[in-house]
Amino acid sequence: MSFLAPTAFAFAAAIPIVILFYLLKRRRVVKLVPSTLLWQRFLAETQASAPFQKLRKNWLLVLQLLLLTLVILALARPFFAGKTAAGRLIVVILDASASMQSTDESPSRFERARREAFDLVNSLHETDQMVVLLASAHTEVRQSPTSNKAALRRALQSCQPTDTPTRLTEALKIAHPLVKDRRDAEIHLYSDGAAPDLTEFEFEGLNVVYHQVGRRALNVGIVSAEARAHPEDPRRRAVFASVFNASSNNVSGELELRFDGTFVETRHVELGPRETSPQVFTVSQEKDGVFTLRLDVADELLVDNEVQLASLMPKPVNVLLVTRSGGYLERALRVVPNLSLTVAEDIADGGANYDVVVIDDVLPSSWPAVNTLAVRSAPTNWVQVTGRVEAPLIVDWKNTHPLLRFVNFDEVQIAEALKVRTPTWAVPLVEAPDTPLVLAGELGRQRVVWIGFDTMQSTWPLRISFPIFVANAIDWLNPASARASQAMVRAGDPIRTPLSGSATNAVVQLPDGTKRTVPIDPGQREFAFADTARQGVYKVDTGDGESWFCVNLLDPAETDTTPKSELRFGRYARALATTLKPANLELWRRLAAAALAVMMFEWWFYHRRTA
């Protein structure tokens, strides 16, 4: 047991005073009476000359001493402290993702997590050290190792929640070297558990103390949204949205669509427990603008109830097909809507007069500098060919990529393919056991799709997926589509826009209307702005005209606000949520209550004796 106010024991000097009052004789009042016959015993006491009397057994004295002792102990504020070793290193990871704004805790999950982190700071020994990390889309080191409690409190106070997804992997990667090979080191994670896969830490043996925050899931949110050209009428737009109910109750609300602030349509939405409802709006559009989807529903998280979608008017795409035979590829290109096709056997001027160049098993005299779809042909700086593969078997394809939307490769057979290593600039979309078959990525500012086999030596052109893939590829390679996709930014990811002038500063207008001037380095070909922790519309003026970007959350893991009772690090390792145990428990309230009870009993006992 320890005492927060040990100086209160000075009041113990009052104990002898109480005893002294009981040692003193009572002063008698002189009264004149006609006879002293009945007062002989009291007369003898009056004649005693000693000022003090013998201390007799008196229950009132015992009760008063007990009352005084309890009051003194209450003033000294005794407490029991948990047993912790000194000299520890504690790494605090404070989850600042969007789901931590949920109001099932008062006033929010983030504020409760911060309060618990403050309590941990108060419990530190003088020789302990603490590190504060703020984890959201990117991890920030808010305080390096220190024992200064004031600095730690300031670091925690400066932390604020964001509208971004949770990426605890980055935070744990920063914390791991600090606690590695230290038995006295701990990682204290304050989170609701809405974290992506953490399997890479399965065998690291991290000493994670998981403080679960959150009590329930009462939330409905927009988890995906997109504005695309209508497949039957390019002048109209189709706005897609998916609404997810993360709660265990039936929920109803209104989904409203606006274009540049003008009301377009509203729709009633009813969702069962854990149900997702797809919604499609078909609207006319005459100019570039921003669609806003707003969900009006009673829930505990507001950040996922609104989404902004950049929508640019479709423009004709000029395509150059470099081929010697044409065939199925030319036929697939001619059915793509809003496309102007030119067929040639070679490239002139690097294809500068075209938006997209398609190379069909040809080695041109010069390689294009524009976005390119290349079939079984590539310069050496694109891919490194190491051989050939006979009859490669397709084992996997990424149907989540825009190029493979509605595309599958079931029963597609290939006679021969080039064997290459996956370059750093591309991701494999279709794979065989020994080589990637389709690659896509950006090389500098040029988008490239590379197919490693001759489509005419495969059964792919005979499948409906082939013309769908060609249409997807042209849409992905179209510079206008690329600009539209770049205008859609996930919260926490940087905004990027090309630079063509000699501007030295860029002016960024944030969603709340404030403007920020950002310097541009000389010779920089691209402007990047990373402070996108808040969702909304950002406007960027680099001197070449103003461009706008829509930053959204759109993350099902954040919308699902169900608190997780454990974090899994792979198949075997896991961290269970901590349970509350009394630590630094003060006893003064109990002592004060006991003193009050003794005082009431002493009052009753005194009046009972004197009645």
What are the mean pLDDT values of the chain's consecutive 10-residue runs (611 residues total)? 75 78 63 58 52 64 79 78 71 96 95 95 91 95 95 96 92 92 90 84 85 94 90 80 95 96 95 95 90 96 95 87 89 91 87 91 90 91 92 93 91 94 94 95 90 94 94 91 84 88 86 93 85 94 87 94 88 76 67 83 74 59
In terms of domains, do 64 and 115 share one? no
In terms of domains, do 42 and 168 share one? no
In terms of domains, do 66 and 107 share one? no
In terms of domains, do 340 and 467 share one? yes
CB environment 443-458: b (16+ within 10 A), e (fewer): eeeebbbbbbbbbbeb
pLDDT score, position 42: 55
In terms of domains, do 60 and 146 share one? no
Residue 370 within any structural domain of the chain = yes
In terms of domains, do 69 and 170 share one? no
pLDDT score, position 37: 54
Q: How many CB atoms lie under 10 A from the CB of residue 182?
A: 11
401 within 8 A of 473, measured Cβ to Cβ = no
Q: Where does a domain end: 434, 459, 482?
A: 482
Domain count, the chain: 4
- Which contiguous run of DSSP H or E holds residue 174? helix 168-179
In terms of domains, do 477 and 493 share one? no
pLDDT score, position 52: 56
Residue 247 within any structural domain of the chain = no
In terms of domains, do 69 and 173 share one? no
Say what angle helices 59-76 and 14-23 make with each other, to 10 degrees.
Answer: 170
CA dist., res. 567 & res. 577, Å (int): 8
**Closest listed residue to residue 371, CA positions, set 357, 352, 385:** 357
Residue 155 within any structural domain of the chain = yes
Pinpoint the alpha helices (H) of 212-356: 328-334
Residue 452 within any structural domain of the chain = yes
CA dist., res. 265 & res. 273, Å (int): 26
Residue 363 within any structural domain of the chain = yes
- Which contiguous run of DSSP H or E holds residue 155? helix 149-158
Residue 606 within any structural domain of the chain = yes
Tokens 């010069």 appear where? 366
196 within 8 A of 213, measured Cβ to Cβ = no
CATH number of residue 533's parent domain: 2.60.40.1930
Q: How many CB atoms lie under 10 A from the CB of residue 275?
A: 15
In terms of domains, do 405 and 326 share one? yes
CA dist., res. 434 & res. 389, Å (int): 8
* Bridge partner list, 447: 442
CATH number of residue 355's parent domain: 3.40.50.880
Residue 354 within any structural domain of the chain = yes
Residue 306 within any structural domain of the chain = no
pLDDT score, position 543: 82
In terms of domains, do 380 and 471 share one? yes
Alpha-carbon dihedral sign for residues 300, 301, 302, 306: negative
In terms of domains, do 94 and 172 share one? yes
Q: What does the block give as tokens for 293? A: 């989807």
CA dist., res. 579 & res. 108, Å (int): 20
Q: Where does a domain end: 482, 506, 523?
A: 482
In terms of domains, do 422 and 474 share one? yes
What's the domain range around 51?
Answer: 2-80+587-610
Q: What does the block give as tokens for 505? A: 């500063």
Q: What does the block give as tokens for 584? A: 């630094």
